[in-house]
Amino acid sequence: MGWAWSSTFIGGRKKKKKKKRATRDKRSSGFLCLGNPVKALQPVTMGITKSRSCFGYPVSIFFIIINEFCERFSYYGMRAILVLYFQRFLRWEDNVATAIYHTFIALCYLTPILGALIADSWLGKFKTIISLSIVYTLGQAVTAISSINDLSDSDHDGNPDNHTLHVILSMMGLVLIAFGTGGIKPCVSAFGGDQFEEHQEKQRNRFFSIFYLAINAGSLISTIVTPILRVQECGIHSKQACYPLAFGVPAALMAVSLIVFVIGSSLYKKVKPQGNIMAEVANCIGFAIKNRFKHRSKEFPKREHWLDWAKEKYDERLITQIKMVVKVMFLYIPLPMFWALFDQQGSRWTLQATTMNGNFGAIEIQPDQMQTVNAILIVIMVPIVDAVVYPLIAKCGFNFTSLKKMTVGMFLASMAFVVAAIVQLQIDKTLPVFPTRNEIQVQILNVGNESLRANFPGQDISVGVNQSSDFLPLDVNNPYVNITYGQQKSTVLNNFVKGFRHSIIIWNSTHITLVNDSLTTKPEKGENGIRFVNSLDQTINITMDGKVYSNISSYEASDYQFFPSGSKTILVSGLCEGHSEKLGFGSAYTYVITKCNGSDLEYNVFTDIPANSVNMALQIPQYFLLTCGEVVFSVTGLEFSYSQAPSNMKSVLQAGWLFTVAVGNIIVLIVAGAGQFSAQWAEYILFAALLLVVCIIFAIMAYYYTYVNPAEIEAQFDDDDNKKKKFGSDPYENSGFSQTQM
């Protein structure tokens, strides 16, 4: 996610500076700890008075940049596979996985306030980063350990014997990660800014560009790499998707991040804690409310603004600065709805991708790798929008203000979910129809040497050699099927179970087997259900890709087991070996073993459920719209916020901005928990409609907003202070300046 910054924000200066662009998540790392940014760039150092330089840059910043790259790799790599880990390893339903995922994200964006308070009021940035990075690393390690299947698989059957243990360890790890990443989020970039001298403003600006390039590079690479690691197979006693490796590599990168940061310790300028401006703001607001409540009777005259009730204790400058912040905070109220949609890339959209086909010709994309589309588009879109789109709009004479840009961004995000709903409808069309609780479905599998006819109540079908029929409904009140094979007729009845599919497997007129298919839904997670039918004259064991089908008798069928996409190795009782057909996504097949002799394995394949046919490429338009919305909303949002806030309170707005991200994820929890939609497309439409309504409300709020210039207001106060010192009188009496002019 891209965002813009200006040196006005970095240094708190009144002089307007050239704006820079950077590419990646402004939520991923805050600019300043909650404190006075002016002081942050005029550090009171501990021990070091002159930093070593390289090409005009402090050597210390290279350690900070490497630290940030590794930390972002760790965070985004872990997050990319998290919802699939919940779904596939912990076996949680989609709604539960989505709820826990967004709870975790919300916590990650609530804890920056805690980290900033610790840094500004107690430990300082350096010690805060060190301490919480240790917590962060432990969290990543615990999460990796929780995903080790053999940790509790004492009977070596491939399933954990103590599911609760894995859940507890996972939750412990995620809580530690949330406190770690959130705690250091508002401090790392500010600590990098502390390393520069006053005359190195140009170098400091370039540092922040490189810093956010490191964020972008770490997140992009990890989102590609960790899904690849996840699909590898590992395990001591049973081979499974390698979540320990996929979580372990981010844990190792976080450890590297910590080590690199510590190595540079002797080179850093370390700012002592300077107190917390956020606490002062909160105290002033609290006093104003309390004082107004005490003087609520009519005998006390009204004041121009409710914050003016703090004048008895706080000076005019602070009250005016808080008024500017409150104005912007009021505009933040609708913003969480944008984040509610945006962060579903890692949950609902990833789950949507599991029902799609990831075959892109020469490469095969995993569902969790589709998130890289956002990162790639960000790299492309930010410079295009900045260098091409905005200048063209300006040439057309359209006043495309910051708030108008944010409104457009919200609209584009809403349209992205409309497209997601359309894609979901296309997916739903390809899904098989399963019987309800009071229905029965039957298919005919002809594995014999002659064609046959099957008579259902009300219909008659013909099935050729090595062919199968569709799943056809059967009358629950009169459940029978007449089979005519050659000159022989047989009737199958009585053993049908309501609510299930059944397969009638026919070898000849004397060998007919009825099998309950057990599948009531399309295989989840993009996996493929495979079962085997034994037409040999002996009982066999079959091993497919490490999973065992035990004791399949002659003319009998096994249960389904599930496999990811790709070709799999088949081993039959040590007698013969071969390979399966290449599996796609979300299918189910019946393999009938017809011959087994050494390396000569022959089988017939019947399709029970077709593979996913809707390609993941159809998700690209929704990612494109959401990324465009992100560029004009997110990048512009912080730029606007900080341009409208006084220099010493920009960090307060940073905390407020991160808080809107947390609230957005909480909204997803509420909707996902309370909605319980029978159709996923309906949930997408609901989110799109909610954001569209919020977009209209925000547009109205923006229309009535009056832009201010905090630098001019602060300069007026400086002039008035100088007059007061010079003439010894109250400068506000004759200055003509009114706080309500804002």
3-state secondary structure 201-238: HHHHHHHHHHHHHHHHHHHHHHHHHHHHHHCCEECCCC
* DSSP structure string for 573-617: TTTEEEEPPPB-SS-EEEEEEEEEEBTEEEEEEEEEEPPP-SBGG
Taking 90 as the threshold, does the pLDDT of residue 257 lie above it?
yes
Taking 80 as the threshold, does the pLDDT of residue 204 lie above it?
no
Contact yes or no for 412/629 (Cβ under 8 A): yes
Greatest alpha-carbon pair distance for the chain in Å reads: 120
Distance CA 391, CA 148 (A): 53
Taking 90 as the threshold, does the pLDDT of residue 487 lie above it?
no
pLDDT band at 129 (very low <50, low <70, confident <90, very high): very high
- With vertex at residue 123, the alpha carbon angle to CA 122 and CA 128, rounded to the nearest 5 degrees, is 130
pLDDT tens readout for residues 412-471: 999 999 999 999 999 988 888 888 888 889 999 988 888 988 888 778 889 888 888 888
Q: Name the least confident of 169-183, 309-323, 550-564, 690-704.
A: 309-323
Distance CA 527, CA 611 (A): 9
Residues in contact with 79: Cβ distance below 8 Å, sequence separation at least 6, in sequence order: 105, 346
Residue 167: helix, strand or coil by DSSP? Answer: helix
Greater confidence (349 vs 51) lies with: 349
Residue whose structure tokens are 């912007």: 328
pLDDT tens readout for residues 288-311: 999 888 888 777 888 888 888 888
Residue whose structure tokens are 């009998």: 556
pLDDT at 648: 66
Residue 474: helix, strand or coil by DSSP? Answer: strand
Residue whose structure tokens are 């500076």: 17
pLDDT at 60: 86
**CA neighbor of 117 nearest in space, from 657, 661, 652:** 652
Contact yes or no for 717/316 (Cβ under 8 A): yes
Instruction: Look at the alpha carbons of 194, 195, 198, 203 in this order and tell me if their dihedral is positive or negative.
Output: negative
pTM of structure: 0.73
pLDDT tens readout for residues 502-517: 998 988 878 888 888 8
Strand partners, 492: 481
* Averaged pLDDT of the chain: 82
Distance CA 573, CA 548 (A): 10
Which domains, from first to last, does the chain contain? 55-275 (1.20.1250.20), 315-430+617-709 (1.20.1250.20), 440-609 (no CATH)
Do strands 528-534 and 556-557 pair parallel, antiparallel, or not at all (unpaired)?
antiparallel
Residue whose structure tokens are 């000076």: 315
Distance CA 231, CA 245 (A): 10
Distance CA 446, CA 463 (A): 7
